[in-house]
Amino acid sequence: MESKSCFERLSFAEKINYLQTVAEKAKARWDNPPSSKLTLINFTENATYRLEVENKTKMIMRVQRLDYTTLDSVKTELSWIAELRRTTNLSLNCPLLSRNRKYVEVIESPEMNEKRLVVCFKFIEGQSPADSSDANDDIGGLIRKIDWIPDTLTIPVFKLAALVQQNLGHSKKSTLQASDRQLYRKVGKIAATLHTRAIEWKDPDFFERMEWNFDGTFGKNWNNFYGVSYRSRQWLSQKDISIIDQCVDLIKKRVEAYGKAPDRYGMIHSDLRMANMLKNGDEITVLDFDDCGKGWFMYDIASVVTFMEHRTDLSEVIKELIGGYELVRKLSDEDKQEIGTFIMMRRIGMLQSLISRIGSVIPGSGESQVLTPEVLAFYAKGTAILAKKYLKNFASRPDLTAIPAKHYRVSQQ
C-alpha cells in the first residue's frame, strides 16, 4: 500500500496553516509587499485566497491541490482560457504573470517533501448570479440551528426530508421569473460559445487534462473524485446502492450509444454552476476552469443545474438553457434527449465529491457552508430517489428516445 504524503498526515487545521505558508511564500513572486494580506476564501480541493494591498483587493491566488494536476495540465487550462479570450467575447478571469514572466509558479517546501503549483488571477467585481427561487442558503441557516443535536437524530430526519421533497414537490408550479429565464439563456449562450470553440481548438503539444467520460466519474480504480465511490453504507442503504448501481449501468449503455463524435465531445468547463460565475450589471464572468477537460458538451448543461436536480420546474430551467444555447449552436434531438442522462451522471459524481470532502471544508458560503453529515445524508438519499426516477423514465427506451425532444424545445426569441 502506498504511504500517505506528509500533507495527508496533517490534521485539517495543520493543512490550512501549511497552505497559508505556501501562499505567503508565493505572494512575493507577484511583487506583493510583505504587508499584503492573504485571506482564505475557499478550500475544497484547491486553496483560494484573496490578496489585499492597503485594504484593496489586488488579485485572487490559487494554491493547487496535489495528485490532481501537473504543470502541463495547469498550462493546458490557462492555454484554453487564452484561446477563449482571443477568439470569443466571453468575460473570463485572467491569469496574471509573475515577476518571472510565468503564469504558474512552483513553490517548494523541502520540509514537506513537496512542490505546489500556484496561479494568480485578476480580481473581478461582482456576485454569483442566482435565480429568485434559489433557496440553498436557507439550508445553511437550518444547519446552524440544529448543529447541537446529535447526528444519530438529525441524519434520519434529513433522509426523510429527501423523501418528502421528492414525493410532494410535484404539485408546485414553476416560480421562474422573467429575469431568471434571461439568466439561464445567457448561461446557455456561454456554454454554446465554449463548445463552438472547443470543436475548432487544436490541443497544444503539452496537452494534459482529465476526462469527464464514464470512467472519469465511475472508474473503480480511480476517478475524478479521488477514486471515491457512492457505494458507501455509511450514507446509503444496500437497497439504495443497488438502485444507483442499476442507474450507472444504464448510463453506461446510453453514453456508449450516444458516442463521442466531435460535435458532442471535446473541451468542456465541466462545472458551470452559478457559484463559478460573477455577475456585474449585465455582464457574467466565467470563473474556475480548474476542472476543465475533455467531456460531453451536454455534461456542461447538466453541470449548470448541480444541486438543483430535485426542482419541480427543472424542465423549465433546461428549456431556457437550450433556448440560449441554440442562439449560438444548434443541438440534435439526441443531444436534448440525453441531457437527463448527463444530469444523473453529474448528480452521482457530485455525491462522490461530497463524500470525499466531508470533514475537510472550511466554513464559508454555498456548499462549503452546508457540507455536514446531515446534508450529505439528505443529498445521498435524494440521489437514490432521482436514480429510481431515471430508471423509470429511461430504462424502457434504450434507443436514445426516452424523452421526446419537444420536451425541451423552445421557440427562438
pLDDT band (50, 70, 90) for residue 184: very high
DSSP 171: G
Query: pLDDT tens across 252-278, in order?
Result: 999 999 999 999 999 999 999 998 999
For the record, the C-alpha cell of 212 comes out as 469527464
Contact residues for 130 (Cβ-Cβ < 8 A; gap 6+): 274
Mean per-residue pLDDT for 352-356?
90
CA pair distance 156, 160, nearest whole angstrom: 6
Distance of alpha carbon 311 from alpha carbon 172, whole angstroms: 9
pTM for the model? 0.86
- d(C-alpha 396, C-alpha 311), whole Å: 23
Q: Is 359 left (phi over 0), alpha (psi -120 to 50) or beta?
A: left
Judge contact between 234 and 224, C-beta under 8 A.
no
Mean pLDDT score, 162-184: 69
Q: How confident is the model at residue 44 (pLDDT cuts 50, 70, 90)?
A: confident
Please check whether residue 284 is in contact with residue 184, taking contact to mean a CB–CB distance below 8 angstroms: no
pLDDT over 90 (residue 292) = yes
> How much of the chain, in percent, has pLDDT values that exceed 90?
63
Is 97's pLDDT higher than 50? yes
Per-residue pLDDT, 399: 58
Cα–Cα distance, 62 to 41 (Å, whole number): 10
Asked if the model's pLDDT at residue 412 lies above 50, the reply is no
Least confident of 116-130, 146-160, 292-306: 146-160
If 0-12 CB within 10 Å is exposed, 13-18 middle and 19+ buried, where does residue 145 land? exposed
Give me the pLDDT at residue 376, please. Answer: 84
**Gap between the Cα atoms of 44 and 65, Å rounded:** 9
Other residues' Cβ atoms within 10 Å of the Cβ of residue 142: 14
Confidence at residue 312, expressed as pLDDT on a 0 to 100 scale: 84
Domains and CATH numbers, the chain: 12-122 (3.30.200.20), 136-408 (3.90.1200.10)
Q: Residue 57's beta-bridge partner residues? A: 52
